[in-house]
Amino acid sequence: MFTDSKYKKWYFSIIENAKNRPVVGYTERHHILPKCLGGKDTDDNLVNLTAREHFICHWLLTKMVTETKSKYQLWNAFSCMLYRERPGQDRYKVSGKIFECIKIAGAKIKSEKFKGENNPMFGKRGSLNPNFGKKWTEEHRVNASISHLGQTRTIESRKKQSEKTKGRKQTIEHINKRSRSGEENHMYGKKLSPETIAKRTATLKANKLAKKLAVGV
């Protein structure tokens, strides 16, 4: 099941060391054989690890298999450790450089998993797309809007959106709509709250800092 590699040796070295020591301080329960590979919730398949050990073990597991489906499942479990934290948990925090490396590796695994006929949308473009011609209801639009409230777009996401729209020309109708003045402007007479002004100011400052970091200033 696991490839005979240095990653496997490192993995089981951490596991054995954890088994042979007293439990001190904060720990997290770890499935030695992951549940997605058939592991059970039994005492012989569970071990207490520190947050750092737990993070590293899940990272090692993604390197210990070669089968595409298993690698993808293990990667999903590992990536959850970057974003999900239940009450009482104190997940291991990584540096920005490590986070970037993890995201790049994850993108390659996902690309391999959904390549060609493995992609659920393979061969379903245009009229073959199950959503072709469907229109959103007002309720659907409202629910979609609510689901994105409070979400912050990453620098990578903003960059992709910028590249996607670069060179695109606006229609005359769009230009006229945005250039309306006075009462014709949908923002006419509206005053921004102090909270909104503060939020926009903070966003501008953050964007300036992000641009500096992106060019290495």
- Asked which of 86-90, 117-121, 173-177 is least confident by mean pLDDT, the reply is 117-121
Q: Which of 110, 41, 107, 51 is nearest to 81 (CA)?
A: 51
Domain ranges within the chain, ordered by starting residue:
6-117
Q: What is the pLDDT of residues 131-154, one digit of tens each?
A: 777 777 877 877 777 676 666 667
For position 216, what pLDDT does the model report?
A: 45
Residue 93 has pLDDT above 90, yes or no: no
For position 29, what pLDDT does the model report?
A: 93
The label of the residue with tokens 């300036």 reads: 208
* Residue 29: burial class (beta carbons within 10 Å; 0-12, 13-18, 19+): exposed
For position 208, what pLDDT does the model report?
A: 58
Most confident range (mean pLDDT) of 16-25, 112-121, 201-210 is 16-25
Residue 217 has pLDDT above 50, yes or no: no
What's the one-letter identity of residue 131? N
Q: What is the pLDDT of residues 35-87, one digit of tens each?
A: 999 999 999 999 999 999 999 999 999 999 988 888 889 988 888 888 777 78
* Residue 162: burial class (beta carbons within 10 Å; 0-12, 13-18, 19+): exposed
CA angle 71, 116, 118 (to 5 degrees): 50
